[in-house]
Chains A and B, each alone.
Chain A
Amino acid sequence: MNMHRRVITLVALALASVSPAPAFAQGPVVLRIADAKTRVVVEREIARAAARGLPLQPLIAKAMEGVTKQATGERIQVAVSLLAKRLEQARVLLAPSTSVAELTSGADALAIGVPGTMLKQIRAAWPVERSVAMPLDVLTELVARRIPAQHALEQITALMARGATPSQIASLGSSVQADVAAGLAPDAALDVRARGVMSLLPSPAAAAASAPSGRRQP
C-alpha cells in the first residue's frame, strides 16, 4: 500500500477544538491520504462518528498519526473506530462535560485501562463548569507509570477537593516523573509529591468556606 507520499491536508476540520458540543456540527471531512481505499474507509468511519455527534478533531488526528506511521488502512480504521467508541463512553461518563479536551482526555484514560467509574469520580470532584481535562491527563500519566489507578485517583481527587489548581495537579505528574527517573518507586513518589502539593493548599475547612453554595471555585 502506497502510503509513503500520504497525508496531509484536512479540510473542514472540525474546528470544534475549544467549543462545547453543538460546535461539533461538521461538514464532510476530506483526508488527503494517497491510498484511495484507505481514505474512503477512514472517512466513512469518521462520518459515522460525526453522525453520533462526536468531536472529529481527535479522530482525524488519530487517522493522520496512523498514516504518518505507515500503518495499514485496516489498522487505521480499527484505531479510529476504537477511539470513537472511547469518546462516546467518555461523553456518557463525564456528562455534562462536552468539551473536546475533556472527552479526549477521558478517552485516553479509558484506553490505558482506567475504569469508567473513576472518570465519573473525577467529574464529580469539581463543578461542571470547570474542566477536568488536566486531572484526567495526570491520572492517565500516573496509571501509565504503573501506579495503581485507585491510588492515583485518591491522590488526585484529594487535591481537587482541597482546591488545587490544574497547574498544581499537573506538576504532580512531572514531579513524579522526576522522582522515578531518580530511582524512586512510582507509588512512593506519588505519595511524597501529593503531600508536598497538599501542604501548599488551604485546609479542607477553608477550601469549603471559600466555595459559594457548597461548590469549590475554579
Chain B
Amino acid sequence: MAGGNRDGVTRGSAAAVRALLLSCAVALRATAQLVPDVRLEAGYARVDQAGFDPVNATLLALFWRKPTDRWTLFTSGNLTYARDSLAAAQGVAAFAVPWRANDHLRTDFGAAGASFSLRGAGRGGNGSGFLRQHYVRDQWGSWVGTAAGRTERDRRRTRSYAGDIGGWARWRSLYASASLSRQNSNDWLLLLASGQTASPRAASYELEDWQLVAEARRGPHELSASWTHRRSVAGADVRVEAVAVNGELQFNDRLTFLASAGRQLSDPLRGLPEANIITASLRLSFGPKPLPVMQRATIADARLIPRVEGGAHLVVRVEVHDTITIEVAGDFSEWKPLPIVREGNAWVVRVALPPGKYRIGVRANLGPWLAPRNLARVRDDFGGESGLFVIP
C-alpha cells in the first residue's frame, strides 16, 4: 500500500474511532434514561478483496434498541479495523412504526452514516437513508422499499438510489424470503475495486439483484443462508453470484457466539466494496433488563382483565419481530398453541378463563418454554418453566 494511502488510513482510523465513540456516548446516555436492549459485539474478520492480500480485521459494534408501544428505535455503532489497511466506522439509527389504523402495516425508516478508509476504494464517508413499507400477516409478509445514499471518497462525490420489493413466509422453525432490488449509482470506483468491470462506459450503472434467504431457527439459535444473483441492467457488464452463511449460538441470556462466511457484493448505497469475508465474534448483552435480540420469549407479559360474568380474560403480549415464530400454550389449552394475532409491535393471545389456577408457557422459534416475565415461575418437569397465575 502506498504511503499516502497509509496516511489516509490513519486519518480514516481516527475518524472511525471518533464516530464510534460518539455512537457509544449517545447510546449510553440513552441507556441511562430508559430500559433498552443493549449489546456489545467484538470479534475477528478475515477480508479478502480482489487484487489484494487477505487481511485480518477487528470488529467492534454497539447496538441499542428501545421499544415503545408505538415504535421501536434501533441505533448502532460499528468499527472495523485492520491496522494498516482497512478501517471503517458506521452509525445507524432506524425506526419501526406500526400503523394505528391497520395492524398489518408497519413502516420502517432510518439513516446511516459511515466513515471509512478502504483499500482500493479510498477514504471518506457515506450517508444513506431508507424507507420501507411492510405488510405483515401471521405466517407471511411482504415489503416494498426505497433508499438513497451519497458517498464521498477522496473528495469525489457519488450518489446511489435503490428500490426493492420482497416477501417472506414462515413455517414452524423455517423462514424464507425472496426479494428483487434495483440499484442505480455513479460510484464507479466501487465497481472497479470490486473487479466487476474493467472501465466506466456511462455516467452511471444499474444493477439488479435477486436474493433468496433461508433461515432455520431454534429458540435463540439461528442459521441462515443467502444466495444472490446480480446482473447489470445498464452501464456495465456485471454478472455475479454470491452465497453467504450466518449463524448465531446463544450460550445464555448474555452471551452469544456469531459466525459468518461468504461473499459480500458491493453495496453502492453504503459505499461497501465486494469482498469475501469470514467473521467470528461474541455478543454481550447487558443493561438493566437484558432483552437480547428480539428473540427471547421472556419479553412476553401476561395480564388478567376481570370479566363481569366471572373469571378473567388472559392477555399475553409477546413483543418480538414479526418474523419470529411465537407459541403460547397452557394447561388450559392442553398445551396446544393458542391462536395468535399480530398487534402493533407484538404477537397477542387472548383467552377467557374461569376462576382457578393455571400454568402457561411461551416459546420463540421452537426454543425452550419460558414463563411470561411478570408471572410467578415454576419448573415444568421437562427442562423448561411455566408461569403460574390464579384467577379469582
- Complex contacts, A8 vs chain B, CB 8 Å: 334
A43 within 8 A of B: no
Q: Does B392 contact A (CB under 8 A)?
A: yes
* Mask of A182-202 contacts with B, CB within 8 angstroms, 1/0: 000000000000000000000
In the complex, chain B residues 338-357 whose Cβ is within 8 Å of any chain A Cβ:
355-357
Does A112 contact B378, Cβ atoms closer than 8 Å? yes
- Which of B331, B355, B374, B377 interacts with A170 by CB under 8 Å? B355
Q: In the complex, are the beta carbons of A61 and B384 less than 8 A apart?
A: no
In the complex, whether B4 has a CB less than 8 A from a CB of chain A is no
Partner of B380, one of A61, A65, A138, A181: A65
**A71-B382, A140-B357 known; A173 vs B390 contact (CB < 8 Å):** yes
* Interface mask (B203-242 → A, CB under 8 Å = 1, otherwise 0): 0000000000000000000000000000000000000000
CA distance A134 to B389 in the complex (A): 12
Q: Once the chains bind, are B335 and A174 in contact (CB under 8 Å)?
A: no
Contact B335 A108 (CB under 8 A): no
A69 lies within 8 A of B389 (CB): no
Contacts of A111 in B (CB 8 A): 378-379
A128 at the binding interface (Cβ < 8 Å): no
Residues on the B chain within 8 Å of A71, using CB = 382-383
Collect the chain A residues with CB atoms within 8 Å of residue B377's CB.
144
Tell me whether B391 and A177 are in contact (CB under 8 A): no
Interface contact A177-B380, CB-CB below 8 Å: no
- The answer to whether the Cβ of A213 comes within 8 Å of any Cβ in the partner chain is no
Contact B336 A68 (CB under 8 A): yes
Q: How many whole Å from A66's CB to the nearest CB in chain B?
A: 5
Residue B111 interfacial (CB < 8 Å): no
CB <8 Å contact, B382 and A79: yes
- Per-residue CB contact flags for chain A residues 82-111 toward chain B (1 = under 8 Å, else 0) read 110000000000000000000001001001
The one of B335, B355, B374 that contacts A68, using a Cβ cutoff of 8 Å: B335
Known: A71-B382, A141-B389. A174 touches B376 (CB 8 A): no
Give the contacting residue for A134; candidates B336, B388, B390; CB below 8 A: B390
B365-387 with Cβ < 8 A to chain A? 369, 374-384
- Is B329 among interface residues, defined by CB-CB distance under 8 A? yes
In-complex Cβ contact of B392 among A65, A140, A171, A180 (8 A): A171
For B383, the chain A residues whose CB sits under 8 A away are 71, 75
Q: Is the CB of A69 within 8 A of B376?
A: no
Contact partners of A174 in chain B: CB under 8 A:
304, 389-392
**Set of chain A residues within 8 Å of B375, measured between Cβ atoms:** 177
A62-B381 CB under 8 A given contacts A141-B388, A174-B390:
yes
A75 to B379 Cα, complex, angstroms: 13
Asked if B392 and A167 sit within 8 Å, CB to CB, the answer is: yes
Q: Does A64 contact B (CB under 8 A)?
A: yes
Interface contact A170-B380, CB-CB below 8 Å: no
A76 → B minimal CB distance (Å): 8
**A74 vs chain B, min Cβ distance (A):** 11
> A66 to B382, Cβ gap below 8 A?
yes
Nearest to B382 among chain A residues (CB) is A71
By a CB distance below 8 angstroms, the chain B residues around A170 are 355, 390-392
Whether the pair A69, B357 counts as a contact (CB closer than 8 A) is no
Give A182 Cβ to nearest chain B Cβ, in Å: 10
CB neighbours of B391 from chain A (8 A): 170, 174
Bound Cα distance A146, B281 (Å): 37
- Chain A residues contacting B379 (CB-CB under 8 Å) are 111
Give Cα distance in the complex from A173 to B384, angstroms. Answer: 23
Is the beta-carbon distance between B388 and A140 smaller than 8 angstroms? yes
- Chain B nearest CB from A10 CB (Å) reads 9
Say whether A145 faces chain B, with CB atoms less than 8 Å apart. Answer: yes
> Please, which residues of chain A bring their CB within 8 A of the CB of B389?
141, 173-174, 177
A76: chain B residues at CB < 8 Å are 382
The smallest beta-carbon distance between A22 and chain B, in angstroms, is 24
Closest to A62 in B: B381
Chain A residue at minimal CB-CB distance from B374: A181
Closest beta carbon of chain A to B217's beta carbon, Å:
16
Partner of A65, one of B331, B376, B378: B331
Query: Which of A68, A79, A171, A177 is B376 in contact with, Cβ under 8 Å?
Result: A177
A61 touches B331 (CB 8 A): yes
Q: Tell me if B390 and A137 are in contact (CB < 8 A).
A: yes
Bound form: Cα–Cα A170–B390 in Å:
6
Tell whether, in the assembled complex, residue A75 and residue B382 are in contact, meaning their CB atoms are under 8 Å apart. yes
Q: A167-B355, A170-B392, A177-B389 are in contact. Are A144 and B376 (CB under 8 A)?
A: yes
* Cα–Cα distance between A167 and B356 once the two chains are bound (Å): 10
Using an 8 Å CB-CB cutoff, how does the interface string of A138-167 with B read, 1 for contact, 0 for none? 101110110000000000000000000011
Additional pairs, 8, CB under 8 Å, beyond known A83-B381, A108-B357: A64-B335, A75-B382, A112-B378, A140-B357, A140-B378, A141-B376, A144-B376, A173-B390
Can you list 27 A-B pairs, Cβ within 8 angstroms, ordered by A? A65-B331, A65-B334, A65-B335, A66-B382, A68-B329, A68-B334, A69-B382, A71-B383, A75-B381, A76-B382, A79-B382, A105-B357, A108-B378, A111-B379, A134-B390, A137-B357, A138-B390, A140-B388, A144-B376, A144-B378, A144-B388, A145-B376, A167-B392, A170-B391, A174-B390, A177-B376, A181-B374
Listed in ascending order, the chain B residues whose CB lies under 8 Å from chain A are 304, 329, 331, 334-336, 355-357, 361, 369, 374-384, 388-392
Which 6 A-B residue pairs are closest in the complex by CB-CB distance? Answer: A144-B376, A170-B392, A137-B357, A79-B381, A68-B335, A71-B382
Binding site for B on A (CB under 8 A): 8, 61-62, 64-66, 68-69, 71, 75-76, 78-79, 82-83, 105, 108, 111-112, 133-134, 137-138, 140-142, 144-145, 166-168, 170-171, 173-174, 177, 180-181
